[in-house]
Amino acid sequence: MKTGIVVFPGTNRERDMAQAFRVVSGKAPRMLWHQQDNVDGLDLIVLPGGFSFGDYLRSGAMAAHSPIMQAVRRFAEKGGYVLGVCNGFQILTEAQMLPGALLRNAGMRFLSQDCHLKVEGRDSIFTSGWKHGDVFRAPMAHGDGNYTAAPDMLDRLEGEGRVAFRYCTAEGHVKDSDEHVNMNGSARSIAGVLSENRRVCGLMPHPENLTEEILGGTDGLPLFTGIMEALG
């Protein structure tokens, strides 16, 4: 498996992401600077977290129109796999490679804490490391994570099994209107979604930050082992 990680000015989670892939594959991903437009030979492109372009205008808006994103779009159109975490998820929605948008957190506060996620996505390499309905812990750190989309799009995402992850309690209960569970106020507690062909995935929390015991646990590891098993 050949992985590329895109680095924009203001990206700050690229090393965490690279380390997570190194843990499962033993190989260091290739770093891709935002001004290049060559992504040849890659199986997976990852857009990591951070504050690309200082979150100017809207989170992810400037990055979505950078040269590398034209290449990432072509890569995805040809069936390439793309994962966006946190700011990467915001960039994918701004680039309209995933539906919906991420608004300011409902409580206005930047949230830096653990959350629990329920695995709901079907037929995707991004959820295949877990069983359907599994619950895992993941750190989150964002100000704009309040997922929204038109009601008919939300229905469609749910109907097609494209809600990859949902915020829930440690016991797996989803509570849309409980600010201690659905902390950023996301529509239908959605934390992550899949594209129509299920090869593009975006999520707000950071599974890459729980992939080794020294980090406090390996709860996020199945994201990476699932991808690794699928892509070899």
Tokens coding 225 = 């082992």
24-83: which residues touch another protein (CB under 8 A)?
57-58, 61, 65
- Residues marked active site are found at 86, 206, 208
Among residues 17 and 191, whose Cβ is nearest to another protein?
A: 191
135 touches another protein by CB under 8 A: no
CB of 35 to another protein, least distance (A): 18
CB of 106 to another protein, least distance (A): 5
Member of 80, 84, 121, 185 binding another protein (CB under 8 A):
185
219 touches another protein by CB under 8 A: no
- Bridge partner residues of 103 (DSSP): 146
From the list 125, 142, 180, 141, the residue with the least C-alpha distance to 59 is 142
SS3 assignment, position 198: coil
For 76-102, b/e burial (b = at least 16 CB within 10 A) is beeebbbbbbbbbbbbbbbbebbbbbb
Among residues 148 and 225, whose Cβ is nearest to another protein?
A: 148
For residues 220 and 173, give the distance between their C-alpha atoms in angstroms, rounded to a whole number: 19
Residues 6+ apart with CB under 8 A from 14: 5, 6, 7, 31, 48, 50
Among residues 73 and 118, whose Cβ is nearest to another protein?
A: 73
Q: Binding string, 86-125, against another protein, x = CB under 8 A?
A: -------xx----xxx-xxxxxx-----------------
Work out whether strand 44-47 and strand 135-142 pair parallel, antiparallel, or are unpaired: unpaired
CB of 194 to another protein, least distance (A): 17
Which residue stretch of 119-127, 142-150, 192-200, 211-219 sits at the interface with another protein (rule: CB under 8 A)? 142-150
* Amino acid in position 27: K
Residue numbers at the binding site for another protein (CB under 8 A) = 57-58, 61, 65, 93-94, 99-101, 103-108, 146, 148-150, 185
